[in-house]
Amino acid sequence: MAHRPKRTFRPRRADSSDSDGAQETSAEPGATGEQAARDPAVEGPPSGRGHAEVAELLRRGRGRRRGRAWASSRHAARAAPRLDESSDVPESRMVDLSADEEDGEHHSSESKDDQSSSPNSSRTLEDEFSSVVNIPDAAVMQATYRKCKLARAQEDYISLDVKHTFTNSGMKKNSEDSESEPDDFKDIMPFTPKPQTLRQRMAEETTTRNEETSDDSQDEKTQDIWEQQQMRKAVKITKGQDIDLSYSHESQTVKKFDASISFPPVSLEIIKKKLNTRLTLLQDTHRSHLREYEKYIQDIKSSKSTIQNLENSSNQTLSFKFYKSMKIYVENLIDCLNEKIISIQEIESAMHALLLKQAMIFMKRRQDELKHESAYLQQLSCKPETSINKSLAMDEKTQWILEEAESRRARRRQARVLSGNCTHEEGTSSDDELSSADMIDFQKSQGDILQDHKKIFEDVHSDFCNIQNILLKFRQWREKFPDSYYEAFISLCIPKLLNPLIRFQLIDWNPLKFDSIGLKQMPWFTSIEEFIDCSMEDSKKEDSSDKKILSTVINKTVIPRLIGFVEFVWDPLSTTQTTSLVTQCRMILEEHSTCENEVNKGKQDLLKSIVSRMKKAIEDDVFIPLYPKSAVENRTSPHSKFQERQFWSGLKLFGNILLWNELLPEDTLQELGLGKLLNRYLIIALLNAIPGPDVVKKCSQIAAYLPEKWFQNSAMRTSIPQLENFIQFLLQSARKLSRNEIRDELKEIILILVKIKALNQAESFIEECHLDHLRSVIKEFE
């Protein structure tokens, strides 16, 4: 394929440039008015001689430009639409141009005359060829070839009005001739997509190199002429644009100052009226502006005054700062407590589980001892009915359990002797000793829990974990802004905020231990009391809502923990645990009942759990066996010892139940102590016992446990109905003692009857037995 040569401004032949201009001028004689206006130098068709010269020049120009692929494609593209769309006149000119290529000797004389128009025309053709490329079909190509052949045969030039008809034979002949002779037009306009052969490309390249060599021999004058032609074209374009701009401007100016427009008639009155109207509008506008200006002045003054007042008055600023700081403090406090409450619950549950495990150990051990000892004594009382191997196996297990229980009792007796307590009865001990291994394990687990308990708030500032500091913040709020304090119902919020912190302090608190710290001595309790006392002084309100804070805290925090101890840890058979629990409950339920509704609800829940636990203890732990008198006459027999221990254990439970006097309702307490325990278990055991000093001692202990409050009515002559069985047993025992003339025990029985207000029964017995010396005893109590 031919290489595209580098474009340079080498000196070109004048006739070559002129031929291009002549070609474009002669090729478009019938152009539109727009093209004629664009190039006014070209006017009218050229003469016959001029056509021949132009054709010769075009042939030379095509030969020179044949090596440039882009130039050939542009010319072919622009020639095709002209052949399709124009009239016969352009077609004749194309034929004439092709025919004149053979006689190109008459061109030098007229070529210079058309130099002025040739550059512009050549540029127009190139622009048209480069814009649109339309490939003609086969019919158009055949028609073109025929016209060219006819022109060559008849004339030396193509006439503008020539019209020829052709036959089929002529068409075939022309087609054959066109195939035989060389066709430069095909080289210029490749209408088929088939690429050129190697020979054609080599021929084109050789021709192009020869033409470029001939072009280099042109002198400097030809180059100057070409540059002048280019300059003239540029000057013509600039002048045409200036003419168009000036014309449009003049037309606009004429339209703007058109004098043909007519105006309405104007008089002095009309002008005056319009001026007055305009003046009125301006005055109204001015007045409105003045009003707005005055308003703005007032707003500025008011704003300055407000700013100054705010700057001078520090109360609002301080209140805002205080509320903001309080809001941030409360949010941080809540975040802290929300994060720590999980750890508090875990430690609390761990401690409760440890105490529950210990309580279950004591309870299971007591029940196992009771079961095995009762079975062993039952076997001793009856003939053996089981095999020897089974009896031996059972005896071995029972023997080990009984030996362990007896060793603990021996250690307790030794401790009582060392302490000087010789009035203790077997069976009244709580039997809550642990083995050394179990004690070490318990202490280790408890120490680990308390160690984790101390670490919960070790990374917290005292303002967020110290109850006194927290209450101090709310106290400042109450002192500075009491209205907003009470409107925010802070007294209802404080117990909820303090709940995690109070539970944290109650983790190592055991209300069942005799040496446990009381609630009044706890730091949180004293801090809340001080907060309430200051509230009473500051508010001067008798119905201050802050008075309910302590009762609410007890109801929501302390009572639920007490209920957990009562239901799962408390042993009603332990006098120590019962006494400590009664003390704590008495302080909680009696001294802090300011909020009746809430505390009553918590109180009822607590008392229900206490009653339920004591009923369970009566049903599970009270067992007083009945043996034949022959088995219990010997005081050292195992039957007698076991019966005595069990009786005193039941009597101990009876006394522990009656310790709840004034806390539990009387009817509930009498039902539990007298109805379920005394009449069902203790009286039956007394009836089976041998009358004597021991029986009187037991009856005296029963009377000692009875609350004096039940017998404070001086008008009472008969005792309460639940003691009727006990009174009858006392009278029966007194009759037996009177026959044996045991006067001291008889007097003791009369004193018991007088204490429980069974005065009528006592007088009847004295008259019946003629014990007039005992009437003075009755008169002392009347």
Structure-token match 């039952």, residue found: 378
Cα–chain center distance at 171:
93
Tell me the two tokens of residue 150: 């006819």
Residue among 10, 445, 365 at smallest CA distance from 213? 10
Range of weakest confidence among 160-164, 223-227, 359-363, 702-706: 160-164
- pLDDT-derived band at 166 (thresholds 50, 70, 90) equals very low
- Among 152-161, 388-397, 435-444, which range has the highest average pLDDT? 435-444
CB environment 639-658: b (16+ within 10 A), e (fewer):
bbbbbbbbbbbbbbbbbbbb
pLDDT digits (tens, 9 = 90+) for 556-592: 999 999 999 999 999 999 999 999 999 999 888 776 6
What is residue 83's predicted lDDT score, i.e. its pLDDT?
36
d(CA 87, CA 163): 12
- pLDDT-derived band at 355 (thresholds 50, 70, 90) equals very high
Q: What is the dihedral of CA 658, 661, 665, 670, to 10 degrees?
A: 30
Given a cut of 70, is residue 595 above it in pLDDT? no
Q: What share of the chain is helix, strand, coil (3-state, %, to 5)?
A: 75, 0, 25
pLDDT digits (tens, 9 = 90+) for 486-536: 999 999 999 999 999 999 999 999 999 988 888 888 999 999 999 988 877
Report, as an integer, the average pLDDT of 89-113.
39
With contact defined as beta carbons under 8 Å apart, do 552 and 598 qualify?
Answer: yes
Q: Which residue has the higher pLDDT, 576 or 781?
A: 576
What is residue 170's predicted lDDT score, i.e. its pLDDT?
44
Given a cut of 70, is residue 185 above it in pLDDT? no
Report, as an integer, the average pLDDT of 271-298.
94
* CB-based contacts of 503, cutoff 8 Å, min separation 6: 344, 348, 557, 561
Given a cut of 70, is residue 656 above it in pLDDT? yes
With contact defined as beta carbons under 8 Å apart, do 59 and 104 qualify?
Answer: yes
Could you give phi then psi for residue 195, rounded to 5 degrees? -70, 160
pTM of the model: 0.59
The overall average pLDDT reported for the chain is 74
pLDDT digits (tens, 9 = 90+) for 721-762: 899 999 999 998 888 887 776 677 888 888 888 888 888 888
Range of weakest confidence among 250-254, 426-430, 650-654: 250-254
Q: What is the DSSP-derived secondary structure letter of residue 386? A: S
Q: Which residue has the higher pLDDT, 633 or 702?
A: 702
Structure-token match 């030996």, residue found: 403
Range of weakest confidence among 111-115, 472-476, 603-607: 111-115
What is residue 66's predicted lDDT score, i.e. its pLDDT?
40
Q: Which residue has the higher pLDDT, 311 or 468?
A: 468
- pLDDT-derived band at 33 (thresholds 50, 70, 90) equals very low
Tell me the two tokens of residue 140: 């158009």
The dihedral through the CA atoms of 381, 383, 386, 387 has a sign that is positive
pLDDT digits (tens, 9 = 90+) for 236-266: 766 555 555 544 444 444 445 556 677 778 8
Tell me the two tokens of residue 127: 């622009």
Could you give phi then psi for residue 191, rounded to 5 degrees? -80, -15
Report, as an integer, the average pLDDT of 608-637.
89
Residue 661 pairs with which residues in a beta bridge?
664
Cα-based distances in Å from 649 to 77, 268, 432:
130, 134, 14
* CB-based contacts of 729, cutoff 8 Å, min separation 6: 683, 686, 687, 699
Q: Which residue has the higher pLDDT, 437 or 45?
A: 437
DSSP of 315-375:
HHHHHHHHHHHHHHHHHHHHHHHHHHHHHHHHHHHHHHHHHHHHHHHHHHHHHHHHHHHHH
What is residue 25's predicted lDDT score, i.e. its pLDDT?
37
d(CA 516, CA 114): 133
Report, as an integer, the average pLDDT of 405-421.
79
d(CA 737, CA 723): 21
Q: What is the DSSP-derived secondary structure letter of residue 709? A: G
What is residue 347's predicted lDDT score, i.e. its pLDDT?
95
Report, as an integer, the average pLDDT of 432-441.
85
Q: What is the DSSP-derived secondary structure letter of residue 678? A: I
Cα–chain center distance at 257:
75
Given a cut of 70, is residue 78 above it in pLDDT? no
Report, as an integer, the average pLDDT of 185-195.
52
The SS3 of residue 664 is strand
What is residue 441's predicted lDDT score, i.e. its pLDDT?
92
CB environment 617-628: b (16+ within 10 A), e (fewer):
bbeebbebbebe
What is residue 205's predicted lDDT score, i.e. its pLDDT?
76
Q: Which residue has the higher pLDDT, 379 or 122?
A: 379
What is residue 463's predicted lDDT score, i.e. its pLDDT?
92
With contact defined as beta carbons under 8 Å apart, do 625 and 377 qualify?
Answer: yes
What is residue 780's predicted lDDT score, i.e. its pLDDT?
63
With contact defined as beta carbons under 8 Å apart, do 121 and 42 qualify?
Answer: yes
Could you give phi then psi for residue 661, rounded to 5 degrees? -60, 140
- pLDDT-derived band at 191 (thresholds 50, 70, 90) equals low
Residue 242: which region, alpha, beta or left (left: phi > 0; alpha: psi -120 to 50)?
alpha
Range of weakest confidence among 538-542, 661-665, 754-758: 538-542
Report, as an integer, the average pLDDT of 528-555.
79
For the chain, percent of residues with pLDDT exceeding 90? 31
Structure-token match 């508010």, residue found: 539
- pLDDT-derived band at 89 (thresholds 50, 70, 90) equals very low
d(CA 341, CA 500): 6
What is residue 99's predicted lDDT score, i.e. its pLDDT?
37
Q: Which residue has the higher pLDDT, 133 or 642?
A: 642
- pLDDT-derived band at 19 (thresholds 50, 70, 90) equals very low
d(CA 418, CA 71): 137
Residue among 656, 730, 660, 664 at smallest CA distance from 700? 730
What is residue 153's predicted lDDT score, i.e. its pLDDT?
64
pLDDT digits (tens, 9 = 90+) for 119-131: 444 444 444 444 4
The amino acid at residue 46 is P
Given a cut of 90, is residue 332 above it in pLDDT? yes
Q: What angle do CA 112, 107, 30 make, to 5 degrees?
A: 75
d(CA 46, CA 157): 11
d(CA 359, CA 564): 13
Range of weakest confidence among 189-203, 387-401, 730-744: 387-401
The amino acid at residue 627 is Y
- pLDDT-derived band at 98 (thresholds 50, 70, 90) equals very low
Q: Which residue has the higher pLDDT, 406 or 23?
A: 406
